[in-house]
Chains A and B, each alone.
Chain A
Amino acid sequence: MSANHQMLLGHYLPGTSLIHRAPLLAKYLVVLIIGAAVLIFRIPAVGIGTLLFGVGLFALAGPRVLRAWVAPLRQLWWIFAILGIYQAILNSPLFALSLISGMLAVIQCGRLILLTTTQSALLDGLEAAAAPVRFIGGNPATIALAVALMLRSIPAIATSVQDLTDAAKARDIKRNPAILAAPVVINTVAYAQRTADALAARGIMERN
Chain B
Amino acid sequence: MIRFNLAGVSIPSEDPSMPERTVLSPCTVELSEPRIAVIGANGSGKSTLLRLINGLVSPSTGSVEVHGFNTVQQAKAVRQRVGFLFTDPLSQLVMPIVIEDVELSLKASHKNRAQRTEAAQRALATLGLKHLAQRSIYDLSGGERQLVALCSVLAAGQNILVADEPTTLLDLANNQLLQSTFDALTQQVIYATHDLDFAASADRALLVSDGQIIFDGPAPEAVATYRQLVRDGRVTP
Contacts and interface: CB of A to CB of B under 8 A. Distances in A.
Given A200-B56, A202-B156, A203-B108, A148 B91 contact: no
Contacts of A200: 55-56, 79
B94 A148 contact: yes
Contact of A14 (B76, B86, B94, B134): B134
Question: Could you say which of A6, A200, A203 has the most chain B C-beta atoms within 10 Å of its C-beta?
Answer: A203
Contacts, number: 74
Contacts of A152: 94-96
Contacts of B105: 202, 204
B75 interface: yes
A33 interface: no
A197 B104 contact: no
With a 10 A CB-CB cut-off, give which of A6, A198, A204 has the most chain B CB atoms.
Answer: A198
B92 interface: yes
Interface in A173-208: 194-195, 197-204, 206-207
A195 B94 contact: yes
Given A11-B136, A12-B97, A197 B86 contact: yes
Given A11-B136, A202-B153, A203-B79, A195 B91 contact: yes
Interface size class of B (residues with CB under 8 A): 20 to 34
B156 A201 contact: no
Main secondary structure of the interface of A (DSSP, over half): helix
A77 B104 CA distance: 36
A190 to B, nearest CB: 10
B103 interface: yes
Contacts of B76: 203, 206
Interface in B118-139: 134, 136, 138
A119 interface: yes
Given A124-B113, A203-B108, A206-B75, A12 B96 contact: yes
A87 interface: no
Contacts of B91: 194-195, 197-198
A204 B104 contact: yes
B158 to A, nearest CB: 8
A149 interface: yes
A198 B92 contact: yes
B235 to A, nearest CB: 27
A1 B92 CA distance: 15
Contacts of B134: 14
B96 A203 contact: no
Interface in B71-110: 75-76, 79-80, 83-84, 86, 88, 91-92, 94-97, 100, 103-105, 107-108
Contacts of A11: 96, 136
A203 B109 CA distance: 12
A118 B92 contact: no
Contacts of B104: 120, 202, 204
30 contacts: A1-B138, A6-B138, A11-B96, A12-B136, A14-B97, A14-B134, A118-B97, A119-B95, A119-B96, A120-B100, A120-B104, A148-B94, A152-B94, A152-B95, A152-B96, A194-B88, A195-B91, A197-B86, A198-B86, A199-B94, A200-B56, A201-B56, A201-B79, A201-B83, A201-B92, A202-B79, A202-B83, A203-B79, A203-B108, A204-B104
Given A120-B95, A120-B100, A202-B105, 12 more contacts: A12-B97, A12-B136, A14-B134, A119-B96, A141-B107, A152-B95, A194-B88, A197-B56, A201-B56, A201-B83, A203-B79, A207-B56
4 closest Cβ pairs, A-B complex: A201-B84, A203-B79, A194-B91, A198-B92
